[in-house]
Structure 1
Amino acid sequence: MSSTLASAVSNLFEPLQLGSITVQNRIQMAALTRNRAPNAVPTDLMREHYAQRARGGTGLIVAEAILIIRQGTEWAEAPGIWSCEQVAAWKKITDAVHAEGSHIYAQLWHLGRVSHPEAPQQKLAGTPVYAPSAISARGGKFRFIPGQPGYTTPTEIEDPTLLIEQFRLAAINAKEAGFDGVELHGANGYLIAQFLDSGANQRTDKWGGSVENRSRFGLEVLKVFKSVFGANVAVKLSYAGGYNDVGMPLPETIETFTYFISEADKLGLSYFALVRYVARLDITLDGKLRAIQHDVLETYRPYIKNAKLYLNGEVSGEEGAKLVEEGKIDGVSIGLLYVTHPDVGNRIRDGKPLDNVPNFPAMQIGGDDETRWYIGYNDYPAAS
C-alpha cells in the first residue's frame, strides 16, 4: 500500500467507543439478508460466514435482520430469535466473531405489513399480518410464494404494547446469545418505519396522528432495548424512504425524523446508522420514483449530539475517511461489498481493489442442499 493511500484512510482504523465496548476500527458490516437459515434457525454455514468477515478486518458486524417472532418474511429462510434452538445457534456465531477479535450486534426486525398470510413462518404463527393501520403497501412480490403475490391488507394491531413486549423478549434472547448490542431495524419500510410514516400509520389514538405520536412506538422499543442492553443499543433509519412504499412529503419527512432522532439521541444510544439516497435502490410506483430525495447527512447530523454516527449507502473507504476527518461521521457502514468480500476492512486498509464478481443468482437462494447454499455465500476469496 502506498503511503498516500495509507494516510487517506488511516483514521478509519482508529478504535471507536460504542456504548460500553470499543471496536477495533470504524468499518461496520451492515445487516445483509442472505436466506441461509432453514426453518429460521442459524447454521454452521452462517457461523463460517460471520467468522470470515470478522477475520477480514471488520470493527463491528451487524448480523442480518433477525425476526423477533414468526412474522412471515419477505425473504425465505431468514433467521429468527424466539426459540432456545435459535439462541443456541446464534451463540455459536457470536463466539466465533469474538474469537476473531471483532464485535457483533443483532439487528432485530419485524416485518409489519410487508408480510403475507401464506409465508411459511406466518402460517406457523397462526396470527394475522399486523401493522399500525389496515393499509397495504404497493408494489413488491413474494418470489417464494406460488403466483408471486403482492402485499396483502394487514390487520391493525389493537394494542401496540404487545409488539413492544415481543421486541423486549427478543432483546433478552439476543443478550443470552452473546450479542454485544442490538440495532433496531427502523429502515426500509418495515414496522418501525410504518409507525413513523403518515401514509402507513393513520391511527387516531396515541400511536398515530402527530409527529410525537407516530414516533412513540419506535422510541418505546428503544427504551425496552435499553432496559436489556444498557448503552449498547442503536437504530438504523432510511429517511429518503421509497422501499416498501413508505415516504412522506419532504417537509413532513424532515419534521418527523428530526423529532425522532432528537428524542432517540436523548436515550443514550451507542450509534445511529443513517442510509443516504442511492439511486439504484429507488423504486418506481405509478410511474414515479418513490424515494424522497434529500441530503440525509446534512439534514439530520446536527440532531445527533450524543450517539456515534455511521453512514450507509455506497460510501467508499476514502470518502468515509474524509467524512470522519471532517467530523461529519464516526464510521462507515458497508453493505453489498460485504456480500462478495470477506475482507472488506483489510482491503481498504491495504489499498486492494474490491473486485470480486457478485454471483447474483446464488445470493438469495434457498433450499436443502448445503453445498448449493455455500456457493455465492462463503466461496468469495479474500485478497492474497
Structure 2
Amino acid sequence: MSSVETHYQSKGLEEFSVLFTPIQLGTLTIRNKFFMAPLTRDRNVPDNIPTNLMVEYYRQRAKGGAGLIISEAMLITQQGTLWPHAPGIWSDEHVRAWKKITDAVHEEGAYIYSQLWQVGRINHIDTPQQVASGEPIYAPSAIQARPGYSKFRMLPGNPGPSMPVELKDPRRIIEQFRHAAFNAKRAGFDGVEVHTGGGYLIHEFLDTTTNKRTDEWGGSVENRARFGLEVLKAVTEVWGPGRVGMKLTPAGGYNDIGMPLEETLETFNYFITEADKLGLSYMMFLRYEVSRDEFRDGKGRGTPHDVISTYRPLVINSKFFTNQSYTPLEAAQHISSGKVDGVFLGTAWIANPDLPKRIEYGIPLNTSIDMGRLYGPKDGGVLSEEELAKGYTDYPFAELPLAN
C-alpha cells in the first residue's frame, strides 16, 4: 500500500481510493483517474487565439493533480458560436498558442486531449467570426433550430440560431476535421476528442429531426451515421489507434435536438457499435440531466434513458467514460462498482485547481463559484487580463497539512 493510499484511508476516505490509481488509455499511462471535462470559459480575448492567461489556467489544474485534461471545445474552422472568444485550431497561430498550454500541462505531469468542434446550425450569420469567414451556416438540412436557450447574447436582441443551408459536400468538413487533428498533433496534444453530441454538426447528421436528406448522408441509420464515422476515421488516420476519443449525448435535449426513444436506440446502438471498431481510446457519454433539457409546455426536448446500462455493453474495445453532474464520491463509486471505467468531472475543477489534493488530504472543496465570471465578456467586448483572471485563475490552492 502506498504512503498516499495509507494517508487517505487513515482519514476515512478509502471510498475515493480508486480515483488515485493509474489507468491505461491507449499507449498512455494516466497517473490517476482525476479527469477534467471540457469547460467553456471564453478567455480567448480579443479573438480566438489562446492566451498566456489560459496557459496559467491549464497549468494550475495539471499542477493540482489532474491526470487527463480535455481542452475547451476548439473550432476546426472559422465560424460563429453561441458565445464570443471561443478558441480555434485551424491556423499556425493557434498551433503556437496551444503549444504553450500543452507544454505547461506536460511539465506538471498530466496529459491533455483537444476537443474538436463544428457547431453546425447552432450559429448566427451576424456573429463576428461568421461574418469574417465569408461562409454560410452549414447543416445536414436547411432546418432552423428553435431559440430555446440557444441565444446569441453578444448580438442585439439576443437572437436564436439563423437558418442554415444544406451542406452539399460533407467530405469538405471531414477534411477540415482531419486538418484540425493534424494541427492538434503539431500543438503537442496527447490525443483528440471529437464532439459528436450537443446538437452540433455530427449530432445533427445522426438525428432524424435535423437530417432530412435522401442521399448517402441521410435516411437510413447507416447513412445518418456515415458522417460521424467518417470524421472519426479521418482523425484516427492522423493520430493512430488509442489516441482518439469521442463525446456523445444520446439523451439529447440540448440545442433543440432529440429523437423518440426507439429511433434514439436504433441510431446510437449502430453508431457506437461501428465506432468501437475504429480503435478509439474512449467514449464519453453525458447522462441525461433534466436541467440541461429544453422544456416547452411542460414537455422536454430530450429522450431520457439510462445511457450507462444501455450503451456500456456495446463498448468493447474502448474505455467507457461518463460525465454530467457527478460529485467526486459518486464518480469513485461508479468506477469501483464497474459501471464505468472513468468519470470526467467539470464543475468541481472550476473553483478547485487542486481537486485531487483536497480529496487526498480531506480538505473541503471550495463550492463558492463566481458565476458572474464563469465565462468571459458575454457581449463580445474586451476586458483586461486582470479582469479576465477573476473567477478563472484566482481560486486558491488549499494549504496542505505538514507531513508527520
TM range, smaller chain: over 0.9
1:20 positional shift: 1.6
Report the residue type matching 2:109 in the other structure.
G
Match of 2:394 among 363, 370, 379: 379
Contact 2:35 2:69 in 1 (8 A): yes
Match of 2:215 in 1: 205
1:117 aligned residue: 125
Change (3 A) 1:278 1:350: farther
Alpha-carbon distance, 1:2 to partner: 5.0
Equivalent AA in structure 2 for residue 53 of structure 1? R
Q: 1:309 to 1:277 in 2, by over 3 A?
A: same
Pair 1:12 & 2:19 matched: yes
CA distance in 1: counterparts of 2:110 and 2:258, whole angstroms: 35
Partner of 1:93: 101
Question: Does the 8 Å CA contact 2:15/2:329 hold for their aligned counterparts?
Answer: yes
**1:224 partner SS:** helix
Q: What amino acid maps onto 2:352 in structure 1?
A: H
- Partner letter of residue 294 of structure 2? I
Residue 84 of structure 2 aligns with which residue? Answer: 76
Q: Is the 8 A contact 2:77 2:89 kept in 1?
A: yes
How far apart are the structure 2 equivalents of 1:180 and 1:265?
A: 20
Partner of 1:143: 153
Question: TM-score of the superposition, structure 1-length normalised?
Answer: 0.97
Give the Cα separation in 2 of the matches to 1:286 and 1:152.
23
1:39-188 superposed matches below 5 A: 39-138=47-146, 139=148, 140-188=150-198
* Corresponding position of 1:242: 253
Distance 2:368 2:286 in 1: 24
Q: Percent identity?
A: 54
2:375 alignment counterpart: 364
Residue deviations 1:171-220 (CA, integer Å, cap 9, x gap) = 00000000000000112111111111110111111111111111111110
- 1:347 Cα deviation (Å)? 2.3
Q: Distance in 1 between matches of 2:254 and 2:78?
A: 22
| Residues 206-238 of structure 1: per-residue CA shift (max 9 Å, x gap) | 111111111111110000111111120000001
> CA RMSD for the aligned pairs?
1.3
Aligned equivalent of 2:40, options 27, 33, 43: 33
Q: Is the 8 A contact 2:11 2:361 kept in 1?
A: no
Corresponding residue of 1:340:
351
Check whether the contact 1:356–1:380 (CA below 8 A) recurs between aligned residues: no
- Runs (4 or more) in structure 1 with deviation over 4 Å come to none
1:22 pairs with 2:25: no
Q: CA deviation at 1:286?
A: 4.7
Q: Are the counterparts in 2 of residues 26 and 330 from structure 1 also a CA contact under 8 Å?
A: no
SS at structure 1 position matched to 2:245: strand
Unaligned runs of 5+ in 1: none
Greater Cα offset, 320-329 or 302-311: 320-329
- Count of aligned pairs between the two proteins: 384
Following superposition, the deviation at residue 356 of structure 1 comes to 3.2
Alignment TM-score, normalising by the size of structure 2: 0.93
Note the C-alpha offset of 1:377. 0.6
Q: 1:145, CA displacement in angstroms?
A: 1.1
Gaps of 5+ in 2: 1-7, 400-404
AA aligned opposite 1:253: T
